Each structure stands twice: as structure tokens, then as C-alpha cells.
Structure 1
């Protein structure tokens, strides 16, 4: 029986596995490495976050994106966006360097078993673990508006369903949304020979500004500090203080998770978008019906007038909604019994990412209503991995490595790392 089984091999799952292995735990990680990035993002997309804030996390800060790029002669500088393909390759390299070998197996069931868990896989295998970390990424939570859900297959898709947008060359495509995924998808469609139209409820598009230099006069840096989620004190708080967000009332946390760092396009995309992609802003979707091989969208314009948009395909770049009900792999009884954050359908977690069911831990998007918006981004993986593995060690108690055994280390102040676990509760 393994100490920890990590389900998911994206930035969060790989980071958790690296910290668990570094702590001397018996850990396995199941999933397709970097699947969301490799399989669900179109060719030509770029990483929106700065390279220095996009590291996966390993003990001692090793195996960074900068290290990977440096050894391959790739520029990973501030203000220089990196292709998604480069980031995906970095994740695969990190997986080989930092943790146990990833097993490309699909988990189908997670069921309580004694004081641990029974894990079933699609190949018929059965595994057992004392603790489980669910780091399933965003794909189970793709949000398709209800008005589009009834359209026939082939008429509508979520933006995460496309690796190659070249299939839409010469076609009319409506892209719904106002965030980076919508804006960049529309641009890539236009650059692939399609005829995209952006449809958004927002009356204006938000664009991020060109990032300020990393090294600035002290007063300028104090007024608008850099952080893993952008520039400014508010972004800095979401980036650096997720433990403090967790101490806020549940309703406040829900609101922050839903509204902070709202939809915006990257500064480097704006020139490629404006003048090339027509946009219907301030338009609400109220009807969607098939019309032969095409789709007819009924829209309400800002003044209340009805507008009809006839298109060959609709791409909903409408984000991801965390919802425990979509985790079909998790035992239904266990799932129904979990305490949740306020009115949301996300798990309430301890300071060490453990749910109300002992030994069951969560990472990534589902934890945003507990720890804030940084959990929606790669940058949150570092905070998560260290805390979660500390939680696993606490849950395992006497089973964790002891002084003199692999995985034990002494902290900078000379204290036994295991005796100092109380400090990570914040």
C-alpha cells in the first residue's frame, strides 16, 4: 500500500509528487503528464504568465523553467511570452527529473477502503493507498452554457476541445467569451483562415498592460509590486497570501474566487486581435438553434434589440466551473459527505489541503474557494505542494520518515522538520 497516490499529472500533480518523493514518502502518480497543455490547447498559443512565475515546484527550488530553457538555448525573459509547446515540454522534463515515474493510467474509481483507499483504473488494475491527492486539473470542469448544451454534435464545442484550429479554415465561427482563451482562440482562427466573430456579454474588452521592468526604483516597486499573478498589491496578496485568504469567511472566499483576476487579454495579443476579429460586445445569448448544418444564435444587443448571428460552428471559451459533482471517479457516498465552502460545490479544506474525509486531499481549481485565485494558475502549485505533503505526513503520523532516514531534514533554524509541522497551519 502506497503512502500517497496522486491522481493527475499536470503542474499540481507533478509538483506534489516531487515534494512527496523528496520527503521520503512512498508515492505514485497516475495520469497523462501535462495532458491539458498537450492535448487541449491549440497550436500557436502562448503562456500568458511570466516565465519566472510559471515554475513547477520541487524541493529546494530545483528544476525551474529558466533552467530548462537555459539548457536548450531558449530565451525565457521577463516580458517575452513562451509558446505553450515549450511549457509542455518543460513539464515533461520536470516529470523525468523531479519525481517518481508517471504511470499513464486513467483512474476510474476512488473508494474508501479500511483506513485508506481503493483505486480502480481503466485497465482493470486495482491499487491501494493510505492517502490520495486529487489534482485532476480543469478538464472535468469545462463550462458549456446551458443554451448551447442542446445543440447537435458538431455544432458546438468548448475551447478546450481543440488542438488544431486549422480544421475551421474557410468557416464562420462564433467564439463566446471575453477572456484570454476566447481572444486567443479567435485570433488563431483568423490566422488559420477561418472567419471568427467574438460574442461577449461585456461591453468592453480588458487588456493587460505591458509588464513593468523587474528592476525598478524602490518607490515604483513599492507602489506596484510584482507577483506571480501580476503587478499591484491586490495581485500580490492573491499570489503570496493564500493561507490568509483561507481565514476569511466562506462567502468572501467564494466571491474572491469568482471575481478576482477577471477576464482579460494578454498585452501581446491585442495588436493581433484589433482590426482583424469583429466583436459583438455587450451582447447576451438568449437562443441557440440548429439551422441545417449551421447554428443560429439569438442575441440581445446593448439597446435591447434582437440580433441574429448565423454561423457554422460555436466555440464556447466560457471557462471552467469547479464542482465536486463532476468528479465521477470519486465514490458517490464519500463525495456527498464532504463539507463544502459556503454555497459552492467545492470541498472545505484544512490549511494543509485535507478535506473533511481523513486522508483525502485536493489541489488545483477545486481549492480556489478555499485558498483564493492563485489556485487557478500554475503559480499556486508551489504553495500547494509543500503544504499538502506536510498534511500527508501529518495524517500518516508514525509512518513518515524519522531523523536519520531518507526524507528527513533539519530546517534552517536547526529544528526537526517533522516537529515543526505546526507552523505550516498558519
Structure 2
């Protein structure tokens, strides 16, 4: 039986595994490394956050993005956007350097088993663990506008569903949304020969400003501090004080998670977008109807006027909605028993990211209503990994030493996956 099984091998899962291994825990990592970044983001996309705030986390601050780039003669400079492909490659390198071997299996169920958990996969026998950390990323929580649900599946998709946008060359594509994903998807569509049109409820688009230099006069730095989530004291608080956010009343935390750091485009994208993409701003989608192989969208302006948009395809760049009900790999009974944050449908968590079910930990998007908006970004992985592993160690200590354990030494994997071995 393993001390900890981490489900998910993105920035959060890999960071947790690195800290767990550094703490001497017997840890296994299940999932495809950096899957969301490698499989669900189109060619040509860039990282919106600054390179120095996009590190995965290992004990001692080792294996940073700057380390990876420097060793390859590449730059990771403040104010210079980094290609998603470079960041994905960095994550794979981090996995090789700092994490026990990642097992590329598909987890189908996590269920209670005695004082621990049984983890079922599509590829082999179940595993048993004393604690589990669910770092499943954002893909289980894809959000589509309800108006699209009646369309045939071929008529619409989510922005996270495209690795190659060249398939839309020559076609009209309506892109729904006003955030970075919508704006960059629309720009990339245009650059790949498509004819995109952005549709957004907002009356105006927000654009981030060019980042201020890292080195500035002290008074200016004090007035507008840098942080992993941007400049300004509000961003600094979300970035550096997740523990303080957790102490706020649940309704306040829910509101912060839902509204802080709202939709905005990166400064370096603005010219590319405005030069090539028309936008219908202040238009709300209320109906979508398939007409042959095309789609007719019914839109309503702020003044109540009706507008019809005919298009070949609809891409919803409408983000992700964290909700335990969508986490189908988690045993239904366990899921229903979890304490949640108000009406958010997300788990209420202790200071070590442990849920109300002993030994079950969460990381990433589902933790934003507990710890704040930094949990929606790579930057939050550092805070999460250290605190979560501390929580795991506390939980393991409360349960007492594992029979036959030897200070966290990894057991012989020849017995792994054999329930009779675990249960004897």
C-alpha cells in the first residue's frame, strides 16, 4: 500500500509528487504528463503568465523554468511571451528530474477502502493507497453555454479541444468568450486561414498592459508590487496569501474565486487580434440551431435587438466550472459525503488541502473557492505542493506507521497492483 497516490501529472500533480518524494514518502503518480498543455492547446499559443512565475515546484526551488531554458541556450525573460510548447517540454523535463516515474494510466475510479483508498485504472489491477491527492487539472470541468447543448456534437466544440486549428481554414468560426483563450483562439484561427468572429457578452474587451520592469525605483515598486498573478496589491494578495483567503467566510471566498482576475487579453496579443478579427461585443447568445451542416446563432444586444449569425462552427472559449459533480472518477458515495464551500460545489479544505474525508486531498481548480484565484494558475502549484505534502505527512502520522514500512522506501513494484499482496 502506497503512502500517497497522486492522480494527475500536470504542474500541480508533478509538483506534489516532487515534494512528496523529497519528504521520503512512497508516492506514485498516475496520468499523462502535462496532458492539458500537450494535447489541448493549439500550436502557436503562448504562456500568458511571466516565465519567472510559471515554475513547477520542487524542494529547494530546484528545476525551474529558467534552469531548463538556460541549459538549452534559450531565454525565459520577463516581458517576453513563452511558447506553450516550450513550457510543455519543461514540464516533461521536470518530471524526469524531480519526480518518481510517472505511470501513464487512466484512472477510472477512486473509492474508499478500509482506512485508505482503492484506485482503479483502465490498464490493470487496482492500487491501494493510504492517501490520495486529486490533481486532475481543468479538463473534467469544461464549460459550454447551455444554448449549445441541442446542437449536434460536430457543430460546436470547446477551445480546449483543438491541437491544430488549421482544419478550419476557409471556414467561418464563431468564437464565444472575452478572455485570453477566446482572443488567442480567434487570432490563431485567422492566422490559419479561417474567418473567425468573436461573440462576447461584455461591451468592451479588457487588455493587460505591458508589464513593468522587474527592477524599479523603490517607491514605484511599493505602490504597484509585482506578483505571480500580475502587478498591484490585490494581485499580490491573491498570489502570496492563499492561506489568508482560506480564513475568509465561505461566501466571500466564493465571490473572490468567481470574480477576481476576470477575462482579459495579453498585451502582446492585442495587435494580432484587432488587425484580423471582427467582434460582436455586448451580444448575448440565447439560441443555437443546426441548419444542415451550418449553425445559426440567435444573439441579443444590450438594447434588446435580435441578431442572427450564421457560421460553419462554434468554438466556446468559455472556461471551466469547478464542480465535484463533474468529477466522475470519484466514488459517488464519497463525493456526496464531502463538505463543500457554500453553493460552489467544491470541497471545503483544511490548511493542508485535506477534504472532510480523511486522507483525500485536492489540488488545482477545485481548490480556488478555498484558497483563492492563484489556484487557477501554475503559480499556485508551489504553495499547494508544500502545504499538501505537509498535510499528507500529518495524516499518515495520525494513522501510525505502515506495517513493514522502512522510512518511506519504495516497495518492490513486482507486487504492485496485486490486491492479494496489499490485503494480506
Which TM-score band (shorter chain)?
A: over 0.9
Q: Does 1:380 align with 2:380?
A: yes
Give the corresponding residue for 1:415.
none
Deviations 1:210-254 (A, max 9, x none): 000000000000000000000000000000000000000000000
Deviations 1:280-302 (A, max 9, x none): 00000011000111000000122
- What are structure 2's unaligned runs of at least 5 residues? 410-424
DSSP-derived class of the 1:378 partner: coil
Give the corresponding residue for 1:22.
22
Give the corresponding residue for 1:399.
401
RMSD of aligned Cα (Å): 1.1
Tell me the distance in 2 between the aligned counterparts of 1:114 and 1:88.
38
Structure 1 residue 17 displacement after superposition: 0.2
> How does the TM-score come out when normalised to structure 2?
0.94
Give the corresponding residue for 2:264.
264
Give the corresponding residue for 2:5.
5
Alignment of 1:95-134 (within 5 A): 95-134=95-134
Structure 1 residue 406 displacement after superposition: 7.3
Deviations 1:300-347 (A, max 9, x none): 122211000000000000000000011111110000000000111000
The answer to whether the 8 Å contact 2:26/2:408 transfers is no
Tell me the distance in 1 between the aligned counterparts of 2:103 and 2:182.
33
Give the corresponding residue for 1:195.
195
DSSP-derived class of the 2:275 partner: coil
Give the corresponding residue for 2:281.
281
Tell me the distance in 1 between the aligned counterparts of 2:63 and 2:222.
30
DSSP-derived class of the 2:348 partner: coil
Alignment of 1:222-261 (within 5 A): 222-261=222-261
The answer to whether the 8 Å contact 2:180/2:263 transfers is yes
- What are structure 1's unaligned runs of at least 5 residues? 408-426
Give the corresponding residue for 1:362.
362
The answer to whether the 8 Å contact 2:47/2:81 transfers is yes
The answer to whether the 8 Å contact 2:199/2:283 transfers is yes
Give the corresponding residue for 2:51.
51
The answer to whether the 8 Å contact 2:285/2:300 transfers is yes
Tell me the distance in 1 between the aligned counterparts of 2:219 and 2:408.
46
Tell me the distance in 2 between the aligned counterparts of 1:344 and 1:176.
24
Tell me the distance in 2 between the aligned counterparts of 1:281 and 1:328.
36
Give the corresponding residue for 2:413.
none
Equivalent pairs, count: 404
Tell me the distance in 2 between the aligned counterparts of 1:406 and 1:33.
24
DSSP-derived class of the 1:374 partner: helix
DSSP-derived class of the 1:230 partner: coil
Give the corresponding residue for 2:418.
none
Structure 1 residue 405 displacement after superposition: 5.9
DSSP-derived class of the 1:154 partner: helix
Tell me the distance in 2 between the aligned counterparts of 1:99 and 1:60.
14
Structure 1 residue 58 displacement after superposition: 0.2
